[in-house]
Structure 1
């Protein structure tokens, strides 16, 4: 489905009509690295370190912020969106956002409404609603309908590429995450097709215009442009989301107590006319997170971390139960996060490893509980105390145990094993495909950069963790020999 074209030169009018304040800045095409639209200064802006308040560059009223609450309010006045929301709302803000964006795509598309985008477009109210139905005399589009078509029709994220492009991620930490995400998107879209096909308004749209790539597109828009706000939760903010990323950003945003979003210039910045305004999309986001969410890796980012999804050995029944228990308790797969920043000793976090490496002879018990309906649920005990809800704090619970050093050695060996296997897998993967287009070439370069960064992280961690295992083993052996105790 092709969205309409909202001309960039009409954007100032849109801002004026919708209460968006711009201070010496404008949205324009940014040619650097072909990043599309961005925010640039129209005149020189000088900010001094001793200014009492940072300079305001942009203010977006709370009425324009897209949140779970605002979507619910929108549904009350728009019958066809209300139908969509009633069928697929799973309670998550993500699904509400995707459905809203999908509806805006339909409203703005030439495939359906003929591209109703201009602020001056005349609207004719529909016939009166049937008795008992909620009124539908509001215009079918909103400021977001017009704004939606200002957003890029192509998002450089994995869901915008072919399966061949996905193969570039083989061996990286994103390989399984991307595969799982694409399966989930496929299931969601097939469900949409099935449920809407027989509905008068939605049926023809699903049959004639809506494609799987449209669903991938709105998911990519949400993933790359949503923010976590203190007063609104997960939200999307028009205009703010046009500001590009830099690890050396010159601006930042905050939500006011009134709910407005304000973009501020950092104190001490002097920007000539034509300078780009940038923000930092995430000071602690890894290269994989940046590529997954935004489709690029910042070469200047100092962050050197990666996350490994841990998987059980199929021949270890107790291990399988532990993985299941931990996954259900925290609604996610067990993970091992590695850190290898410059000037810092490589280290890791992963509370599941302590659970994995403890056994019954240590004092850990897994006891099945039978429920009246016949189902079975496992509970975890340590030294006779039920710790089923505390599996992520197990390291603290065992710290005073006389065999704590032994436990630490086991965990270090397990971590080293996972990291070494990940490195071996990454170094052994090769793909025989060549990019078939410029966009695939960009993704190939990003995936290659990710492989290089993760291989470097894994090598540093293997070296550091080998040394830790050696030291832990030496300490434990020395104590054993000194006391003639049991290792």
Structure 2
């Protein structure tokens, strides 16, 4: 596959040829920030302007979006075969091991498609490093359009980030992507035009996708994958019913107080004795489906709202205590791992100083979020332990465990308290 490199000197001709319109702005190299967009004249957008000031327009046919990919697949049989072969999966993966697995799977399946097998072998074969590069390009240059969703937009992807952005992008009725000057902004000639890559994105996502952490961003969060309890006999059924990878998100609010979000954790902490059931139902056509029930009500389509479903239960505070206890164990385990790597870090000599500084900064931010979260969770646990319903429940459970006649029953049940 032929590879090429285009300099900034080639961009004006390419833009004219492809209908990309730069309006009073140009792409230029900016010290310490790589390529970016700067104003060629003073740009002014008043609060009372009826129309926003356009800076860049990109035709719809140049935009790569999920919708555009599907449309092209309808027109091109070979591309449809490729899309079906890779299973409509994104090239993005969180880890190099996952990328390697994706790449091996792709090469193996493309061997059965002569058209694509020949394409990727022209001049030089595609390697795993090319797959890594493709992943990095997509992560660093994709953005969320209001209508088309996750997309890649040429030239717009050259605009740098700032939490004090002076511009924003939108889609026109004709499908063009347009970069506008924010209302109330004045940008002197020669100054950089910036957009916001996402104020809500975590430091890890910013570093992994764009290669930096915005020091001025107030976003402080961490997302962890959840796994069912090891001794839960309903673990597989719960994962199947939930339908997506379960996650725990810890995020500091503007007041500095951390909050946690983990819909799956409530499924983790419930069992049949509480009223959670799974049944395999057979349809008239012979197909079989796993259904989830809470208090004999089918909640298969509402598995991610478990907290709301159990809120009116008389033991809700007990369920909340179970969830908090589980979250505390996960948070403490992650905190221990980060502290251990911090104390025994020997990677400084293996990477550039910039990379090491960025990774160290990320680790410091996440340790801070985890420590604050543990403090907040401890306080929440203490409050729950003072709740009358929780006290009564724990007293009853303690009595049953001390009652020899209940020993057999206790052995069969798991004590979540």
User: Which TM bucket (shorter chain)?
Assistant: 0.7 to 0.9
- Whether the 8 Å contact between 1:67 and 1:93 is mirrored in structure 2 is no
CA distance in 2, matches of 1:399, 1:289: 33
Higher mean displacement: 470-479 or 370-379: 370-379
CA RMSD of aligned residues (A): 3.2
- Whether the 8 Å contact between 2:41 and 2:190 is mirrored in structure 1 is yes
Report how far residue 471 of structure 1 moved. 0.7
CA distance in 1, matches of 2:282, 2:74: 45
CA distance in 1, matches of 2:153, 2:116: 32
2:354 maps to 1:356: no
Matching residue within 310, 334, 347 for 1:433: 347
CA distance in 2, matches of 1:224, 1:467: 39
* Greater relative contact order, per chain length (Cα 8 Å cut-off, separation 6+): 1
Aligned to 2:82: 87
Aligned to 2:366: 454
Matching residue within 205, 226, 238 for 1:289: 205
CA distance in 2, matches of 1:3, 1:294: 23
CA distance in 2, matches of 1:424, 1:345: 21
2:47 maps to 1:52: no
Report how far residue 253 of structure 1 moved. 0.5
What does residue range 321-340 of structure 1 map to in structure 2 within 5 Å? 321-326=237-242, 329=243, 332-340=244-252
Report how far residue 304 of structure 1 moved. 0.9
Q: Could you list the per-position Cα deviations for residues 85-111 of structure 1 after superposition, in whole angstroms to 9, with x for gaps in the alignment?
A: 52344587665xx7xxxxxxxxxxxxx
CA distance in 2, matches of 1:383, 1:291: 44
Report how far residue 39 of structure 1 moved. 0.6
CA distance in 2, matches of 1:231, 1:91: 25
CA distance in 2, matches of 1:340, 1:215: 35
CA distance in 2, matches of 1:295, 1:2: 27
SS of the aligned residue for 1:343 comes to coil
Higher mean displacement: 414-423 or 245-254: 414-423
CA distance in 1, matches of 2:377, 2:189: 51
SS of the aligned residue for 1:433 comes to coil
Taking structure 1 as the reference length, the TM-score comes to: 0.72
- Whether the 8 Å contact between 1:23 and 1:58 is mirrored in structure 2 is yes
CA distance in 1, matches of 2:6, 2:205: 31
- Whether the 8 Å contact between 2:318 and 2:390 is mirrored in structure 1 is no
Aligned to 1:365: 277
2:104 maps to 1:187: yes
- Structure 2: runs of 5 or more not aligned: 399-417
Aligned to 1:19: 19
Report how far residue 244 of structure 1 moved. 0.9
- Whether the 8 Å contact between 2:85 and 2:109 is mirrored in structure 1 is no
SS of the aligned residue for 2:169 comes to strand
CA distance in 1, matches of 2:100, 2:28: 36
The 1:199/1:359 distance shift into structure 2, 3 A limit, reads closer
CA distance in 2, matches of 1:413, 1:44: 57
Higher mean displacement: 458-467 or 229-238: 229-238
SS of the aligned residue for 2:183 comes to coil
SS of the aligned residue for 2:347 comes to coil
Matching residue within 36, 52, 64 for 1:38: 36
Report how far residue 293 of structure 1 moved. 1.7
SS of the aligned residue for 1:458 comes to helix
CA distance in 2, matches of 1:407, 1:201: 58
SS of the aligned residue for 1:205 comes to coil
- Structure 1: runs of 5 or more not aligned: 99-157, 160-176
- Whether the 8 Å contact between 1:406 and 1:476 is mirrored in structure 2 is no
The 1:87/1:61 distance shift into structure 2, 3 A limit, reads closer
CA distance in 1, matches of 2:320, 2:117: 63
